[in-house]
Amino acid sequence: MLKSHKNYYEILGVTPDIELFQLKSIYRRLVRKYHPDVNPDGETFFKDITEAYEVLSDEKLKKQYDTINGFFKSSKKSDTSDDVYRKTFRKATEPSFEKNESAQKSKTENINESKKIHNEKQFTDVINDIIDGFSQKNKKTAKNKKLEPKKGADIYADVIISLKESITGTHKLVNIITTSICPKCGGRKFINGSKCPECSGKGEITQHQKINVTIPANIKNSSKLRLPGEGKKGMHGGKNGDLYLKITIEPDSFFKVDGIDLLCEVPISPYEAVLGGDIKIPSFNSEVTLTLPKFTKAGQVFRISGAGLKKNNLVGDIIVTVKIQIPDSISEKEIVLYKALKDISGASLRKNLI
């Protein structure tokens, strides 16, 4: 309950004969200038101008306030300039009966001490009743005001997976930053006219959250996954937002993706190229077998059907390009055999170069 008597006209910089529409205009201008969100140093003055406006904008409360504090409408037409609005008037604590000093002296001499105390108490009680009326009006308005449900904001995040994970499916622990309503101020941003210390006047707090996400098999690069209700918290009973994940498949060191086909390059030894035979090709599901024909040439391309990627009802292939490669280390026995092969070889591979 307010115990001091404030000059509401002086606080707002207006005259007692101001019209309501002018008062509203000035109040809005002061709010824009001194609201704590805009001007952190203006919190105290913001509370004063709000209190003053609530009283002066209410016809009944204004009449009581003017009567108690001796404010009367000026006979001159009010001006709308800032010079007139900034004029200072009689202090709120100055009784109206002090206008006639000689008459007041006569009255004061006939008033005993007990009646003085009684009148002072009455004066304070009336002021407090005005302020209480203002407070109760605010409480009633806030109670009756229905806050509409507000859906929480959506959150967007990127998830990087390997090519193998995109084919077989996987689980990923995703770190996201989300917000929830401040538990201290309930999203109102202010407590007793000051910024909430818990959320610094934001009305919400930031939290780091880990979510275990299932990545389905055969997902494509740049696909988006939607997780309903995993976004920011809704307000006033509103639904939570959604979490959207963009899937990025990192390049694989062995396979390259071509549509639904997987391309790879496989080394073979000289004897495998000449003799042919079965070789094992790695795959994300299981190893597959490629049968090399005799006299396979370097750069020859082979196709393994049904071992590629899946899309809808289609299944791609693994396309293998072979290259003949000499091992990094060769035994003495192998060198002897290569020399013997050289001695018995009669074919010339370079006879038709020119």
93-137 pLDDT, tens digit per residue, is 344 434 444 444 444 454 444 454 444 445 445 444 544 554 455
pLDDT of 346 higher than 80:
no
Backbone angles phi, psi at 66, to 5 degrees: -65, -40
* DSSP E strand stretches across 192-311: 194-195, 204-215, 224-227, 243-249, 256-258, 261-268, 277-281, 288-292, 301-304, 310-311
What are the pLDDT digits (tens) for 177-236? 877 788 888 878 888 778 888 888 888 888 888 889 999 988 988 899 999 988 887 777
Q: Give the DSSP H/E element, type plus range, for residue 118.
A: helix 113-144
Domains of the chain: 8-144 (1.10.287.110), 155-249 (2.60.260.20), 256-344 (2.60.260.20)
- What percent of the chain is modeled with pLDDT above 70? 77
Looking at residue 132, its pLDDT comes to 52
| CA torsion angle 305 307 308 312 (round to 10) | 90
Q: Does residue 68 contact residue 18 with C-beta atoms inside 8 Å?
A: no
Contact 166, 219 (CB under 8 A): yes
Predicted model pTM: 0.49
Res 42: pLDDT: 75
Tens-place pLDDT, residues 67-88 = 887 776 543 444 433 443 344 3
146-168 pLDDT, tens per residue? 568 888 889 899 999 999 999 88
pLDDT digits (tens, 9 = 90+) for 284-305: 877 899 999 999 999 999 999 9
